């Protein structure tokens, strides 16, 4: 297996070679490239054409259609000036096919005029458009016999690249040609990591072949497959990226296997008591997931499970049952929420459920200060069996757990791998780490979950508690605001409660809150008979709490809020939600907001109060929301509309920033990537780090290389 191992010693691999080493690339071009994330020659190679021009052969003028971009060759029939509004030069070209084509120029020098002489032969490249009489090309690129420019006598298709200000297509072509020349000049610059027999088996080209082909394909290629990115050359590259990511995640798994966890074997008495007092029966899906968790927790191998369940599917109770298993076994469980508001709500649920069992949940957040905080920290350090609720404050160094057996992270999409590991480190004692359960209502399509969270086991609650009514969603233009206000009045008159969500219309937090304040004041004026509360993101938890509690207790009819109520707030009597400016929000967030209603037995409504005109994309989003109520369907649609990066919230999560992979499109390649990963781990460990270094970003590489 010398194909790759021989070159691992070479330090200046292509992925470390600066673009500045290429001839003709100065500071200015390098700076412009850096702006779009291209620093190395490898980055440049990954910058793939969006389409191709066929300049390899001349097209018959007679067959020319509007919109075609082609080369034509012919004889100049006539040359004329027009002196209309804009001075222009009109050249008529014909070829043996008998067709006529007008070439039109608005800028031209006298030297150019001389070249356009009747009877001269001309080759030009441009896009055919419909003129007043004949097809025309505006400012085509021209070449005159007898010397043709090699660009127009190309033997391969000509790439057209996505661009940035200050870099023309000619510069791009120059750049990628130089990059390919470097690549071909020495075969150890970009070592091939996938062995030839594997490539043959998969009918894929080598990496070098793939890059050459994607940038300068032969004219005979299946262009459609290239552009839609189904071509084997493209798949070859994507496969390697998937492979690298797969290896990274397997490293994470392996490292997990180095640790053991405490088997949490409880006798079930607390769980039994809790179930008896619940007042509802768990759904079959909840029972299934509880069973999965129970089985995981009695193992000495740390659990690492992702629990997906749509908003309102009842994840909390499942988590609490798992926590009780830890407590029965004599250990602590920590439940971590992404916001203070959610942590508070969890706390109140926990109190309601656990106080009857004689348990006092401990809560820690950043608002606990001084003596109170010290007291809480002491309890966490000393109480062997306890359930602890908090925000990211639980990560802090000062927090020491007596015996952390289980960590539950709610709404995972706000936490990244980094934090996951951090909290795990918290419980790490004598080589033992706590079990981990991560919960999310952002339903990640399975295809995506497979590649993004390969280090986690997956559980899904795919069923809502019985008796829930589907939420009717309607889009209403802002002009009909008065009607919407009447709807609120009517709903509250019937004893129901409502939310009015003011979403980001101002850039800054401060302005947004001011805008929401104005809305709240107006509503108070317009609905004098209602009890109206107002909460926003800049309020301290201690100010927000009484308002929330009043709403939960039914002492407020209408809650006006900024998007702070987004995740998890749970008031069964609320059956109407108004979302202002929904066009500004993503699908996932809208679905989350909407999930605040439809939690009880009453028919619920969501009114999307938008400001026309809507962009096509916004209209599409609102449409999907009106038609779909399943979070999974919505996530799929979201993925189609926006691409994977944003759905996962990668910016926060600090992972899964794909260079070329599109998880939805490339999911069929995942099994092959997995097999390859297994094979490399078994037979070619030495390739793991180079592969990760080639494909992962700096932060990720650092993380995975040091963890390993
Ligand atoms: P989410 O999955 O969005 O976190 P929650 O755990 O907040 O949902 O549950 C939503 C509401 O449904 C809570 O009030 C919870 O007590 C209730 N609930 C959970 N499971 C059931 C069930 N099987 N039947 C009826 N109500 C349930
Ligand atoms: Mg929840």
CA 566, distance to chain mean position in Å, is 19
Distance, CA of 58 to CA of 65 (rounded, Å): 14
Angle at Cα 212 formed by Cα 210 and Cα 217, nearest 5°? 95
Q: Best of 312, 343, 442 to mutate for ligand 1, by most ligand atoms within 8 A of CB? A: 312
Mean pLDDT of 568-582: 87
283 in contact with ligand 1, CB cutoff 6 A:
yes
Residue 507 pLDDT > 70: no
What is the C-alpha separation between 55 and 126, in angstroms, rounded?
10
More confident residue, 171 or 507: 171
Mean pLDDT value across residues 222-226: 88
Residue 343: nearest ligand to its CA?
A: 2
Lowest mean pLDDT among 282-296, 349-363, 597-611: 597-611
pLDDT of residue 644: 47
Name the architecture of domain 57-153.
Beta Barrel (2.40)
One fold for 280-461 and 472-628: yes
Q: What is the pLDDT of residues 414-466, one digit of tens each?
A: 445 555 555 566 666 666 888 989 888 766 666 566 666 656 788 989 888 88
102 pLDDT above the threshold of 50: yes
Mean predicted confidence (pLDDT) in 152-180: 85
User: Domain map of the chain by residue range?
Assistant: 3-49+170-224, 57-153, 280-461, 472-628
Give residue 289's pLDDT band: very low, low, confident or very high (50, 70, 90): very high
Decide: pTM greater than 0.85.
Answer: no
Report which protein residue has its CA nearest ligand 1's atom 9. Answer: 314
Please write the tens of the pLDDT for every residue from 10-23.
446 778 889 998 98
The span from the CA of 669 to the CA of 688, in Å, is 19
Fold of 280-461: Rossmann fold (3.40.50)
Lowest mean pLDDT among 143-157, 410-424, 686-700: 410-424
278 lines ligand 1 (CB under 6 A): no
pLDDT of residue 429: 63
pLDDT, greater one: 412 or 202: 202
Which residue among 313, 316, 443 is best mutated to probe the pocket of ligand 1, counting the most ligand atoms within 8 A of its Cβ?
A: 316
**486-513 mean pLDDT:** 83
CB 348 within 8 A of CB 553: no
Cα(268) to ligand 1 centroid in Å equals 21
Q: Is 60 exceeded by the pLDDT of residue 5?
A: no
**Least confident interval from 153-162, 193-202, 424-433:** 424-433
Which of 86-100, 355-369, 663-677 shows the highest mean pLDDT? 355-369
**What value, to the nearest 5°, has the Cα angle with vertex 238 and ends 234 and 241?**
150
Look over the chain and give the mean of its residue pLDDT values, rounded to a whole number: 84
Distance 333 CA to ligand 2 centre (A): 17
Nearest atom within ligand 1 for CA of residue 278: 16
Q: Which residues surround ligand 2, an ion (CB under 5 A)?
A: 568
Residues 145, 120: Cα–Cα separation, whole Å = 8
Q: Per-residue pLDDT for 325 more than 70?
A: yes
Our answer on whether the CB atom of 280 is closer than 6 Å to any ligand 1 atom is yes
Indicate whether residue 552 lines ligand 1 (CB < 6 A). Answer: no
Mutate which of 286, 288, 317, 353 to test ligand 1's pocket (most atoms within 8 Å of Cβ)?
Answer: 317
Q: What is the mean pLDDT of residues 372-396?
A: 90
Q: For residue 494, how far is its CA from the centre of ligand 2 (angstroms)?
A: 27
| Atom number of ligand 1 nearest to Cα 572 | 14
**Beta carbon of 122 within 6 Å of any ligand 1 atom:** no
Question: Using CA atoms, how far apart are residues 679 and 687, in angstroms rounded to an integer?
Answer: 11
Q: How far is the CA of 570 from the centre of ligand 2 (A)?
A: 8
Does the pLDDT of residue 353 top 90, yes or no? yes
Cα(581) to ligand 1 centroid in Å equals 28
**Cβ(520)–Cβ(560) below 8 Å:** yes
Options 3.40.50.300, 3.40.50.2020, 3.40.190.120, 1.10.10.60; CATH of 472-628: 3.40.50.300
d(CA 189, CA 342): 52
- Residues 6 or more apart from 627 whose CB is under 8 A from it? none
Q: Is the CB of 631 under 6 A from ligand 1?
A: no
By percentage, how much of the chain surpasses pLDDT 90? Answer: 37
Q: Which of 232-236, 282-286, 468-472, 505-509 is least confident?
A: 505-509
Q: What percent of the chain has pLDDT over 70?
A: 86
Ligand 1 contact via 266 beta carbon (within 6 Å): no
Q: Which two tokens stand for residue 688?
A: 């793991």
pLDDT digits (tens, 9 = 90+) for 520-548: 999 999 999 999 999 887 887 778 878 88
Determine which residue's CA is closest to atom 17 belonging to ligand 1. Answer: 314
């Amino acid at each position: 297996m010398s194909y790759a191992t021989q070159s691992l010693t070479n330090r200046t691999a292509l992925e470390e070679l600066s673009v500045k080493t290429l001839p003709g690339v100065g500071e200015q071009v390098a700076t412009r490239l850096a702006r779009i994330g291209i620093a190395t020659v490898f980055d440049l190679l990954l910058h793939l054409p969006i389409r191709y021009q066929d300049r390899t052969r001349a097209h018959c003028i007679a067959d020319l259609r509007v919109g075609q971009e082609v080369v034509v060759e012919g004889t100049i029939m006539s040359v004329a000036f027009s002196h209309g509004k804009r001075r222009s030069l009109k050249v008529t070209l014909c070829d043996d096919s008998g067709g006529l084509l007008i070439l039109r120029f608005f800028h031209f020098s006298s030297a150019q005029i001389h070249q356009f002489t009747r009877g001269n032969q001309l080759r030009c490249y441009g896009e055919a458009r419909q003129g007043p009489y004949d097809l025309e090309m505006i400012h085509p690129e021209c070449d005159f016999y007898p010397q043709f420019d090699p660009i127009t006598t190309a033997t391969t298709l000509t790439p057209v690249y996505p661009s940035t200000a200050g870099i023309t297509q000619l510069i791009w072509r120059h750049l990628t040609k130089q990059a390919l020349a470097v690549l071909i000049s020495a075969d150890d610059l970009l070592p091939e990591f996938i062995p030839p027999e594997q490539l043959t088996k998969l009918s894929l080209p080598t990496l070098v072949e793939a890059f050459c082909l994607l940038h300068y394909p032969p004219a005979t290629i299946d262009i459609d497959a290239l552009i839609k990115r189904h071509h084997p050359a493209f798949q070859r590259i994507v496969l390697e990226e998937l492979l690298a990511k797969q290896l990274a995640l397997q490293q994470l798994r392996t490292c997990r296997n180095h640790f053991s966890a405490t088997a949490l074997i409880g006798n079930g008495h607390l769980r039994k008591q809790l179930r008896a007092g619940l007042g509802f029966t768990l759904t079959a899906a909840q029972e299934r997931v509880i069973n999965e968790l129970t089985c995981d927790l009695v193992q000495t191998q740390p659990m690492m499970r992702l629990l997906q369940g749509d908003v309102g599917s009842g994840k909390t109770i499942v988590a609490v049952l798992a926590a009780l298993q830890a407590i029965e076994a004599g250990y602590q469980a920590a439940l971590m929420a992404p916001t203070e508001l959610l942590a508070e709500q969890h706390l109140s649920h926990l109190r309601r459920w656990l106080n009857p069992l004689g348990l006092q949940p401990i809560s820690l957040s950043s608002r606990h200060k001084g003596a109170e905080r010290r007291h809480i920290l002491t309890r966490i350090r000393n109480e062997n069996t306890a359930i602890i609720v908090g925000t990211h404050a639980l990560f802090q160094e000062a927090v020491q757990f007596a015996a952390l057996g289980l960590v539950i992270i709610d709404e995972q999409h706000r936490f990244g791998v980094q934090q996951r590991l951090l909290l795990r480190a918290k419980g790490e004692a004598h080589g033992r780490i706590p079990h981990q359960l991560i919960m999310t209502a952002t339903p990640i399509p399975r295809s995506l979950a497979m590649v993004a969270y390969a280090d986690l086991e997956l559980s899904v609650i795919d069923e809502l508690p019985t008796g829930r009514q589907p939420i009717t969603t309607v889009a209403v233009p802002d002009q009909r605001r008065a009607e919407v206000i009447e709807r609120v009045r009517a709903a509250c008159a019937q004893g129901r409660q409502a939310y009015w969500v003011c979403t980001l219309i101002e850039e800054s937090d401060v302005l947004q809150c001011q805008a929401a304040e104005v809305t709240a004041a107006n509503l108070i004026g317009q609905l004098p008979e209602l009890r109206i509360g107002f909460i926003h993101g800049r309020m301290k938890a201690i100010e927000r709490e009484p308002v929330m509690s009043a709403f939960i207790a039914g002492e407020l009819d209408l809650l006006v809020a900024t998007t702070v109520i987004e995740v998890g707030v749970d008031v069964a009597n609320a059956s109407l939600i108004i979302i202002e400016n929904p066009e500004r929000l993503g699908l996932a967030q809208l679905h989350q907001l909407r999930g605040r209603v439809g939690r009880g037995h009453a028919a619920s409504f969501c009114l999307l109060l938008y400001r026309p005109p809507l962009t096509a994309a916004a209209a599409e989003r609102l449409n999907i929301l009106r038609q779909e109520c399943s979070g999974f369907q919505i996530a799929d649609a979201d993925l189609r509309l926006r691409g994977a990066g944003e759905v996962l919230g990668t910016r926060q999560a600090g992972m899964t920033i794909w260079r070329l992979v599109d998880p939805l499109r490339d999911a069929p390649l995942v099994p092959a990537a997995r097999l390859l990963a297994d094979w490399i781990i078994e037979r070619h460990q030495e390739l793991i780090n180079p592969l990760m270094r080639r494909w992962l970003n700096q932060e990720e590489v650092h993380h995975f290389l040091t963890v390993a």
